[in-house]
Amino acid sequence: MNKIAARHKRKLRVRARLKTLPMERPRLTVNRTNRHIYAQVIDDQAGHTLAAASSLEEAFTSTKRIGADVDAAKEIGKMIAERAVKAGVTQIRFDRGGYIFHGRIAALAEGAREGGLVF
């Protein structure tokens, strides 16, 4: 099994665990690459995205930073929390997407908590 298949398997395991939580809460999903980090708040019942933030946005890239560090991930977490609260979401389920809850993923979660999301 290669690294991509192993991460996909972990991702499915995490997603199955999330289905045991209350479905009325939207899901905050995270994707990261070596240079950027992305976050979305998804309403699985309706099947659409409520809020999104990434390190590729103009508001973030105007500071001449890349999304490859912990500080950037924390800032993206605060951005997604602000947009989710504006959309009327305060409680979420956190989908780490098969990544270890460490480093940039943990920083994004911490930023989202500071921004007002509860999970």
Quickly tell me which residue has 């977490």 as its tokens.
Answer: 77
The closest alpha carbon to 54, from 11, 102, 65, 10, belongs to 65
C-alpha atoms less than 13 angstroms from C-alpha of 53 in its C-beta half-sphere:
21
Mean local confidence (pLDDT), 102-116: 97
Question: Each residue of 6-33: pLDDT tens digit?
Answer: 999 999 999 898 888 878 899 999 999 9
CA 83 to each of CA 19, 36, 93: distance values in angstroms, whole numbers, following the listed order? 24, 19, 16
pTM of the model: 0.89
Q: Going from the N-terminus, what domains does the chain have, and what CATH number goes with each?
A: 3-114 (3.30.420.100)
The closest alpha carbon to 87, from 51, 111, 53, belongs to 51
Question: Each residue of 35-75: pLDDT tens digit?
Answer: 999 999 999 889 999 999 999 998 888 877 787 899 999 99
